Amino acid sequence: MKNMDLHPTPTFRAVLVEQIRVVGPTLKPLGVIFGGLFGLGTILILLNRPPDPVSFELNYFTLSVMALFGVAIPLFLWRGEESPFRSGFPWTLPVEKAQHALARVGAGWVWLMVAVVVFILWQAVNTLLSGGTLGGSETWLLAAPAGTVEDRMDPATMTSVVWSQPGWLFLVPFVGATGVYLLISALFLAIRHPGRWVVGTLLGLLVVTLITSRAGFNWLDDVAGGTLNSLLGGRYGLSTFIGGGTFEASATRLPSGTEVLVWLSLPTFGRWAMAVALWSTAAIAALGLAVFRHRDGRGGQAPT
């Protein structure tokens, strides 16, 4: 029997580079879907040029779309045979399964950043095609800082502010999409059938809500609803994390009959930074625990 040369275990960097190359074709269907939608949007702008130029704006809609990338990519990254709970390709590699999973998450993140950059550039091109400019400022109506909702939305109490997008707002899509991506990736690595758990949880919440409402447990409904609202739309909630505070707007009608957006508060870097600290810590911790679950103890040696 001939002696076989033993090759050194690949470094994490080598595994990551290889995963970036492999993940690209895996995400191609997703790129085709989004590319088709973006191409259609550009065609509509060219054929039906709006009377007002399309503004280059990082608002709640565009930031939500980029956060959606962080949800969509893991769906393609861990589907089929690439599921971390299936035996197969990862087990044949000369690296630990947890290291392979982490490298695959890293590779998906690289392509996520590419998608965010492409989307921002696409939005900039559409702005120029519509006759708009990439800079500039706009006037916002700002609600009164205190009082009831009705008092704050009274046109007589509103003030006008001139707003131009600060530089830190361009960090929001990258950080927000990354945080969402890490949370969804942790879900796929931690749970064998994440789709069933998500649907089951939503149905369970619906049933509990119906029961508490009919049974008159309004206090329980208020506690659950208040907790959910704090997590999603609170001062440091998920909406602040992925939107930088640009979700703080509500529609109202002026005495003239014109419907306008009124901002309840202006986006601030301090508030967004606190939300980033909280949600990033949670996302990294969740991913770390999920990856730890897949340690196989091979110590870098392929199973025999």
Asked if residue 260 is part of any domain, the answer here is yes
Q: Which domain holds residue 53?
A: 12-292
Give this prediction's pTM. Answer: 0.81
Asked if residue 165 is part of any domain, the answer here is yes
Q: Provide the sign of the torsion angle of the four alpha carbons 163, 169, 172, 173, taken in this order.
A: positive
Q: Provide the sign of the torsion angle of the four alpha carbons 181, 183, 188, 193, taken in this order.
A: negative
Asked if residue 115 is part of any domain, the answer here is yes
Asked if residue 182 is part of any domain, the answer here is yes
Asked if residue 232 is part of any domain, the answer here is yes
Over residues 64-86, mean pLDDT = 84
Over residues 37-55, mean pLDDT = 74
Check whether 219 has a pLDDT greater than 80.
no
Asked if residue 30 is part of any domain, the answer here is yes
pLDDT bucket at 8, cuts 50 / 70 / 90? confident
The sheet that has 138-142: what strands, in order across it?
159-163, 138-142, 259-263, 249-253
Asked if residue 302 is part of any domain, the answer here is no
Rounded Cα distance between 276 and 241, Å, is 6
Q: How many domains does the chain have?
A: 1
Asked if residue 264 is part of any domain, the answer here is yes
pLDDT bucket at 52, cuts 50 / 70 / 90? low
Residues 6+ apart with CB under 8 A from 102: 12, 291
